[in-house]
Structure 1
């Protein structure tokens, strides 16, 4: 077939090209590859009317040049828009050609970022605005895909065998018919009418992102209201989206900026969206009966049903669409708010005493450490909230992000870093139980219940109110004494100032310290039966408008009772102003964290992040034992090593107990940098030499001496460069280095590179002080040297009279699972061991451990003193960290979780060739990403993945000379559920990369 049409293409359009068949429901479509130019040949069905093509070509020509990504018409050799030719069977066919647009169908694009949705909405809005000027008689033809004439599907519902789904369609049709008369009053224009996910093209680039590149196939154009265009577009764009309603709202909001919508448009949109999908599934069912082997005609049926099967709250959808377009969240919302504002000060007091001067108490994430475990508010914690406040009444803020809402009901996913509701939507008034509560204004009881679940409302009442215009709004009173059920009934009228309930106690109010949760809502239609009192921070724009600050009902100012959230931009701008430019932030979109727990971090609004990056909190963020020991020691004494104290000796003992016998002397300093600096001093003093040998791309800290032996730093642009007394050897990377894993002698070959460095020292008439290396180079790329490498190196160094320094800052203290220190895996005995940040779990501690012989030489009459190194506070914390590692079996956990992590990563490697190597031990893991079999580093892809993982609320890093190695090194508290979360998210990111690289 293609040979025939190749000849016709050449004959009629002067284009010599090879053809490749494309999908189509009625017509033949071919991709025409003419070397440097690409086209699409469209062969119309037998009997196609010329006006059908005339309409499309005229519309496309009018739209060209308006930056709407429409195709370009290629004329015939005679200058016509199309040609009439015979097919292989002698049938007359109309054929035409367009220039191919770059990109792939939207259906094949993942992820679908918000910037793309915004861009698409503007393109569609611009398209509709431009088409207002277009007219053609063929727009008024009868057409089954005319959304204004969709009732034909009623006659074919018998084809739907699933009765539940048939009922869904019947309900959609009834809803559609109830508003069709309104839609018929809307102005009608030319619309594309089929902006589905196969008629929108997109380009994707790892650095540029996803962009709209084409709007194609104008064959379904009709005359119809613009809302039909938008409903159709939204119907397909939302399919299989993680948050389809947000996607719809984003698309509608951006469309509105180019082609403004009315409130009536928004009233109709979701109804028409569902009707379009109903037409689609009925049509595909009909077609599949006729052509059971044709996959194209049923291609969108499954995702369409997945959408229709969901029970969306139509009122909530409408409210979110209204907000997206800048309208009030509900009609007359501003009129209600104006009424409340004007009557502020005249409402009846809710309590018998005034709360005008009651203090506001900060329960925010950054303002309190409650709860200690942000995933489990204890009964005693809930019952004692504010027990230390010395006031008859005190208030909790509206709009305040809190971590006290810890049950699974507040999370939307299976992982701890899933979306979580954390922002308070009411005002809390804390006082003694039994206090009587009066209605601030007249109301009708809509709900009176006892919600008995732990940390629920307990007794709760909802009152309905009216303003002067008959607009209804609602107030909720939670944490009441459940005896209110005996006093009130639905429909009962409560007069202004009438006592109608009383505060419950922790025994009957859900388990909370006695308080009233007062919440305002402008509508009941968007509130489910649970009446959420807390919002997901990502949904706060909606919930904050629907449930605004109820301060007016308390005769208080919004400014007093509304939480002043931390402004990340202000914090970032001040940081930029107050600090040097080389104080860097992680991620393209920097994060602000105000709380931590175990291997989780919490931002200023309560979003939870899984920390698989930071190895400093070795035993977990905010460990309660460390909190207690630090508090206790600070209450007693914090001084330095010039005085005797048993904790100094205890700290040295718990460290030395983990070391080989020969390593028997400790020095305590403030950091790994200072520890490495001291280690170099020990080596130089003990040997009377200066020269140091060290592997390339190593990092040992930010002091002058540490930077001098850190190629990772001194080789940077504008770095200090390599000093004459520093000698670099290749890092023992047996994946991409000179000697690979296929070479059984690679360990010796890498070790022999030290000989060259020793020769250089001799040549410059220097003297060797020693060899320093991260046992497993971390910034070098989470490198695991081949077995036997360090033993051979150490042998050469010792023979040459040098000292061997093992920098275990990254690898020590059980992180490796199978080994407490990295040097154990290499079966070597260092002369000096350096420990750093993990041993303080965030408190600044560095440790140097060495032999008595080296210590004796260092004791040369010059005092060694570090003001804060070895302080009583530091030692107490260090001892506790070592005890926690043992007591909580964290080395074993590192081993077990590391096994699970490796298994998951190796499975991913089988599916994603971009993973070149997975290496490490325990929870010290590197994943090297490559572009091809030549091991070309996938640097851009690694950066993309790290930032996408951050968007999925998982923190990992990148390392290596080319920044192409994913670094995974979480606190040792991580569990298997978190490992599953990491693997699942990483798999999603790697699949996204396939979109960019295909």
Structure 2
């Protein structure tokens, strides 16, 4: 589908003189394709590139439109990758010239990249970036208008009905029939709906020779505004999709990527989205009509025949697509619910489930029915994995018999044999059906099937020749709100369906069908395939029982989990694993955008963990050097077993007496110096710090807080207020009136540095100044927040005696001192259990989180009996989940592992090994400015110049990316300048892990340019 053709023999002669005369430019010139205009690439000796266009005589309004739109975009969208006009010697952007006849000359800036049609780098990201570009372009063009855009133009899809009289130009009968059907459908069903959609000027020609891609496959430019027209906005997406899908294994998926990206920057309506697929097909029909007419007029132009091969091939591919399913997929891609009624139907089912009858033998007839649960029977797990299709179901039947069960189940969402629709589907994993959409119920031959609620027989199908699976029946139902849906019953007996008629009413609990025997079901064991259907896709009783994994977000709407109707006593559905692209799109739709994704350029899908490693969906092990939450190692077996054991026995709140809670409290407080011997249990470090703030304010009656610059203490509103990392950063509201910020004691960049023996006392003087500032206003501090090692500050080790002096200043003013050990507690610093101990101080309050439960959501506040007593003022403190038996059991297991595996000593030794190795690397790599830390809480600061200490955040970003990409090591950045390599791996991080990291870091640093 290409309207452009080469414009004849080389005509570069004379262009040099014209360029020099008009623009005072000289350079190498090469001719480019063009349908009517002469186009030339100009490369100057200085390395500048331009596009020279010599327009053929024609519509002046059209040319003026092309000039005016670039001027409009220069003002309203200067960042868009489109050409910009270059004025001639007299300042004009369009000049009359004589070159093989009268022409009008324009010089434009050159856009770099490979045309889409010839690029080898195009992928899913190409379609996404194209959609984003077009969305931004059209958003900028909403205020643009021009008489030339109001033309009646045959390449405007909205005018497709006018081409019906050109269909006879198409000679091939199959092609003629296909085009006629598409245009007739457009005229009758699509055109009436277009009239009410948003209209504006659009580019209208984002074809595969007008779109440029860079080396990474992202769109880098859009050419040729000659086809602009004022029409329906959604046509922009359809035109781009028609070209972008050429050669795609999943055409609808490609269109969906464009539409989704367009929608994110320039939202479209549901009505627009529902017409995109029809408009793409119509674009192909328009192209075939136009080409047929041109071939009739210019039969010697064989190029037109070649260019139409892509069109016909892709049109045939689209003919294999279910058009209704294509619409639902495009709805989902743009964030709309695929089947608008699906959520309402499921809510109706959940509200009324208590009135449903059993599908297989009502409960009053089978009071003690035994169900064989394949999902929970571990003895079958390995054997089940070896079977699929009929083998699987024969195995199920034998298992049911061996267990003495009345019936068994097959699971919704599980992987099944790849169901073959045709060779095209088998060759394209993106559209291959393999996920079970129903629940299979295994029972004896001719077991009655009962209607769970009233309905009528809507569709019936029995095609023993093609599938051999016995009859399928769909009962139609209607909710109170008027939403129609169906229940599907497959693998029935023919005998039981003989009396069924379309439209027949079926009452709740009525036996209307039977389980089919083996001979009627391809020798499969007798079973009922039960499925909910919210949209039968026009397939009626031929409705698919298996969906496409990559399209699961759509298929689960078409056929939601039937468990709501069956009410089985065992699990009968599974979570269907999705690819990364789908998960990202789902996260953006369902989860607040403020929650970021790690390594967003190449995100990981993590499905497991072991020790110091995370494991992705492909089975690759990633060395985790940033996860201090799983302190004793990912999925430590002792912690896992403790959780499983207690969960199986009891989990309740802490108001009841329980040995584990008291024992954990005793064990935990034993790790602290006196008088820190009272616990409060909560669920997160943020909750712990919020409670600590309440304790302090209640104890002294004061409200103001002192915090250290660039600190972070939690995500609750009360803690954002005391976290300069948040309130002074992007999106922050600034420092609250009740907060005083003390200078960050940075021995590398601060006022007092390494070697200054009095640095701790000097930095603490700023704490004193904050206290004095409060006193000047007649106020006293309630609490000072500090960490024993500053995490978000850049893994900064505190100067000797800093906390000793800072605590003294605060306490003399009547305030309390808090040690935030949420990041660094539980032996990570190597020399002590708690980082505050390295400063030889005892806080008034200590907060714990993250490593306390090795990933389980638990946290604690440790304080004195005196402070705890003042908090018991009559207002009860209660936390529903804090200190529950499961959390206490997990906490005990973590303490046991730290003790038994000598993890504190391990952190000391491996941490020193790592820091010694990093300092040795600093002798070879000038970019390493500082190495600091305690135990396995380490920072490596990168600088561009050691003298000026200019931060190197971009270089660090490259280092982190290369360590991940080339070495499988996961790290992140920290510090006020984002130039500190943050190292805080799980404590089992081994000497071998350490050496591997150092070798890898050396290699990556050596490769920095």
Other-structure match for 1:331: 340
Cα distance 1:585–1:349, how it changes in 2: closer, same or farther (>3 A)?
A: closer
Name the SS of the counterpart of 1:535 in structure 2. strand
Aligned-pair CA distance for 1:260 = 1.1
Per-residue CA deviation, residues 189-226 of structure 1 (Å, 9 max, x unaligned), is 1110111111111122xxxx311011110111111121
Other-structure match for 1:102: 112
1:112 to 122, 127, 150: 122
1:270 aligns with 2:283: no
Moved more, 230-239 or 351-360: 351-360
Asked if the contact 1:23/1:296 (under 8 Å) is kept, the reply is no
Alignment of 1:278-297 (within 5 A): 278-294=285-301, 297=304
1:361 to 353, 361, 374: 374
Asked if the contact 1:494/1:500 (under 8 Å) is kept, the reply is yes
Cα distance 1:381–1:256, how it changes in 2: closer, same or farther (>3 A)?
A: same
Other-structure match for 2:639: none
1:318 to 297, 317, 327: 327
Other-structure match for 1:345: 354
Asked if the contact 2:604/2:616 (under 8 Å) is kept, the reply is no
Name the SS of the counterpart of 1:477 in structure 2. strand
Distance 1:516 1:211 in 2: 49
Asked if the contact 1:281/1:301 (under 8 Å) is kept, the reply is yes
1:43 aligns with 2:54: yes
Distance 1:112 1:588 in 2: 27
Per-residue CA deviation, residues 399-449 of structure 1 (Å, 9 max, x unaligned), is 1224xx267559866679897533211112223333211111222223334
Distance 2:540 2:253 in 1: 18
Name the SS of the counterpart of 1:345 in structure 2. helix
Aligned-pair CA distance for 1:67 = 3.3
Other-structure match for 1:232: 239
Alignment of 1:122-137 (within 5 A): 122-137=132-147
Asked if the contact 2:274/2:330 (under 8 Å) is kept, the reply is no
Asked if the contact 2:370/2:406 (under 8 Å) is kept, the reply is no
2:536 to 524, 531, 536: 524
Other-structure match for 1:14: 24
Alignment of 1:123-202 (within 5 A): 123-178=133-188, 179-202=190-213
Distance 1:564 1:391 in 2: 26
What TM-score does the superposition give when structure 2 sets the normalisation length?
0.54
Aligned residue pairs, count: 586
Cα distance 1:409–1:262, how it changes in 2: closer, same or farther (>3 A)?
A: closer
Per-residue CA deviation, residues 221-246 of structure 1 (Å, 9 max, x unaligned), is 11112111111111111123211111
Other-structure match for 2:223: 216
Distance 1:586 1:548 in 2: 25
1:257 aligns with 2:264: yes
| Higher RCO (CA 8 Å, separation ≥ 6 residues) | 1
Name the SS of the counterpart of 1:489 in structure 2. coil
What TM-score does the superposition give when structure 1 sets the normalisation length?
0.54
| Structure 1 gaps, min length 5 | 592-939, 948-998
Cα distance 1:562–1:162, how it changes in 2: closer, same or farther (>3 A)?
A: same
Aligned-pair CA distance for 1:52 = 2.8
Name the SS of the counterpart of 1:93 in structure 2. strand
Asked if the contact 1:348/1:438 (under 8 Å) is kept, the reply is yes
Asked if the contact 2:535/2:558 (under 8 Å) is kept, the reply is yes
Distance 1:246 1:417 in 2: 12
Alignment of 1:631-710 (within 5 A): none
Per-residue CA deviation, residues 582-637 of structure 1 (Å, 9 max, x unaligned), is x998979889xxxxxxxxxxxxxxxxxxxxxxxxxxxxxxxxxxxxxxxxxxxxxx
Asked if the contact 1:453/1:510 (under 8 Å) is kept, the reply is no
Name the SS of the counterpart of 1:327 in structure 2. coil
Alignment of 1:376-455 (within 5 A): 377=391, 380-381=394-395, 384=398, 386-402=400-416, 405=417, 420-452=432-464
Other-structure match for 1:773: none
Asked if the contact 2:536/2:558 (under 8 Å) is kept, the reply is no
2:553 to 541, 544, 551: 541
Asked if the contact 2:83/2:223 (under 8 Å) is kept, the reply is yes
Other-structure match for 1:610: none
Name the SS of the counterpart of 1:344 in structure 2. helix
1:302 aligns with 2:309: yes
Name the SS of the counterpart of 1:123 in structure 2. helix
Asked if the contact 1:230/1:269 (under 8 Å) is kept, the reply is yes
Asked if the contact 1:55/1:138 (under 8 Å) is kept, the reply is yes
Cα distance 1:453–1:182, how it changes in 2: closer, same or farther (>3 A)?
A: closer
Per-residue CA deviation, residues 857-903 of structure 1 (Å, 9 max, x unaligned), is xxxxxxxxxxxxxxxxxxxxxxxxxxxxxxxxxxxxxxxxxxxxxxx
Per-residue CA deviation, residues 802-833 of structure 1 (Å, 9 max, x unaligned), is xxxxxxxxxxxxxxxxxxxxxxxxxxxxxxxx
Aligned-pair CA distance for 1:173 = 1.4
Other-structure match for 1:86: 98
Name the SS of the counterpart of 1:240 in structure 2. coil
Asked if the contact 2:50/2:109 (under 8 Å) is kept, the reply is yes
Distance 1:295 1:248 in 2: 30
Distance 1:348 1:445 in 2: 17
Asked if the contact 2:25/2:44 (under 8 Å) is kept, the reply is yes
Asked if the contact 2:549/2:578 (under 8 Å) is kept, the reply is no
Name the SS of the counterpart of 1:112 in structure 2. coil
Other-structure match for 1:492: 504
Cα distance 1:20–1:295, how it changes in 2: closer, same or farther (>3 A)?
A: farther
Aligned-pair CA distance for 1:482 = 2.2
Cα distance 1:31–1:498, how it changes in 2: closer, same or farther (>3 A)?
A: same
Per-residue CA deviation, residues 283-318 of structure 1 (Å, 9 max, x unaligned), is 112222333344555554211111223423221111
Other-structure match for 1:461: 473
Asked if the contact 2:341/2:534 (under 8 Å) is kept, the reply is no
Other-structure match for 1:52: 62
Distance 2:264 2:428 in 1: 37
Aligned-pair CA distance for 1:391 = 2.5
Per-residue CA deviation, residues 269-291 of structure 1 (Å, 9 max, x unaligned), is 22222222211111112222333
Asked if the contact 1:411/1:418 (under 8 Å) is kept, the reply is no
Cα distance 1:113–1:590, how it changes in 2: closer, same or farther (>3 A)?
A: farther
RMSD over equivalenced CA pairs, Å: 3.7
Aligned-pair CA distance for 1:345 = 1.5
Cα distance 1:275–1:13, how it changes in 2: closer, same or farther (>3 A)?
A: same
Asked if the contact 2:609/2:615 (under 8 Å) is kept, the reply is no
Distance 1:466 1:586 in 2: 41
Cα distance 1:529–1:434, how it changes in 2: closer, same or farther (>3 A)?
A: closer
Name the SS of the counterpart of 1:150 in structure 2. helix
Cα distance 1:111–1:345, how it changes in 2: closer, same or farther (>3 A)?
A: farther
Distance 1:165 1:10 in 2: 50
Name the SS of the counterpart of 2:218 in structure 1. strand
Cα distance 1:72–1:374, how it changes in 2: closer, same or farther (>3 A)?
A: same
Asked if the contact 1:238/1:247 (under 8 Å) is kept, the reply is yes
Other-structure match for 2:632: none
1:68 aligns with 2:77: no
Name the SS of the counterpart of 2:359 in structure 1. coil
Cα distance 1:372–1:576, how it changes in 2: closer, same or farther (>3 A)?
A: closer
Cα distance 1:363–1:322, how it changes in 2: closer, same or farther (>3 A)?
A: farther
Asked if the contact 1:383/1:512 (under 8 Å) is kept, the reply is no
Asked if the contact 1:240/1:306 (under 8 Å) is kept, the reply is no
Cα distance 1:364–1:487, how it changes in 2: closer, same or farther (>3 A)?
A: farther
Name the SS of the counterpart of 2:518 in structure 1. coil
Aligned-pair CA distance for 1:528 = 6.9
Aligned-pair CA distance for 1:351 = 2.5
